[in-house]
Amino acid sequence: MKQKFRGIIICIVLMFVIFPVPAHADTGPKPSVQVDFTGMENETYYVTLLSQSDSTGPATAYDENNQYACYHEGEEGYEIWKKFVDYQDSDGYYFLQWFEQCSGNDTYVWSYYPPSPFKVLVYFPETDTFAISEICERYAFDSYFTARLDASESGTLAVIKTYHFKWEIISLAARIVITILIELFIALLFGFRTKKQLCFLSVVNILTQTALNILLNILNYNRGPYAFTFYYVVFELLIFAVEAVLYRKFLPAGKEKPARPVLYAFTANILSFVSGLWLAHIIPGIF
């Protein structure tokens, strides 16, 4: 018995070795802002986010006194950069020298320390005009918006949040169902096959997996994929401990194999954990 539990502890330690979470100073995913443009089918335009502060991450506003400029006269993009530099925002928001060219119903992404709060500013070179949004704020680790020109007010962009809550609920349900199916299949391999046993395992897994996936969704929404992966490991260990106690008490395996429920809990959780990471890699839209 002691040797079996030692083996379990060794396997848990190996989980941290096999699935490490790096903690370097500036690695890993960063918050992002994505703006999808609609109603711009025949337009070529340039997009930036104006910031309430004069810098964010490596991006900073141009100041003639410190002579820091991302573009210089004669360089490609200088004329557009100069247009943004000369733009005067009514609320004093700063241009941080980061912009992209878009065309048609395109998507603009600021994926490295985007400002918040911010305004979406669009420049149309053909008409030498600007369109600007109201003040927006990031609301999640990855914040999604949709923007279109406001037909009722010239020069104004209407920007709305467009986080896909419906798809997140569908993917949450899919993760829970797949995990439960995996753990019930493993239960059959361990000899837990009676209706009463399978119903008990189903109820426990529905409760633990629902709690796990809701917590992971909240973490991913607010703190991103690195926090998601780290706490995935932590929560799986907690779930293993809870399930091991419950299974040991309510799934007696006889005197010959008293550790079988605990071994089942460990095997089921580590396989569902590995399967979850694998599925997250091959089907990122669902996991």
Tell me the per-residue pLDDT of 22-62, one tens digit each, with 9 for 90 and over: 433 444 467 889 999 999 988 999 999 999 999 998 899 99
d(CA 259, CA 252): 9
Domains of the chain by residue range: 2-26+165-282, 32-161
**Between 152 and 51, residue with greater pLDDT:** 51
Mean pLDDT of 81-86: 96
Q: Per residue in 227-247, is it b (16+ CB within 10 Å) or e — as a string?
A: bbbbbbbebbeebbeebbebb
Q: Give the model confidence (pLDDT) of 208-262 as tens digits.
A: 988 988 888 788 777 776 787 788 889 989 999 999 999 988 887 656 577 889 9
What predicted TM-score, i.e. pTM, was given to this entire model? 0.66
**Residue 191, phi-psi category: left (phi > 0), alpha (psi -120 to 50), beta (remainder):** left
Q: Give the model confidence (pLDDT) of 183-221 as tens digits.
A: 999 999 998 999 999 999 999 999 998 898 888 878 877
Q: Which fold has domain 32-161?
A: Immunoglobulin-like (2.60.40)
d(CA 116, CA 63): 21
Tell me the percentage of the chain whose pLDDT exceeds 90. Answer: 50
Specify the pairing of strand 118-124 against strand 129-133: antiparallel
Q: Give the model confidence (pLDDT) of 95-105 as tens digits.
A: 999 999 999 99
The confidence score (pLDDT) of residue 259 equals 85
Classified as helix, coil or strand, 70 is coil
Mean pLDDT of 166-170: 77
Mean of per-residue pLDDT scores for the chain: 83
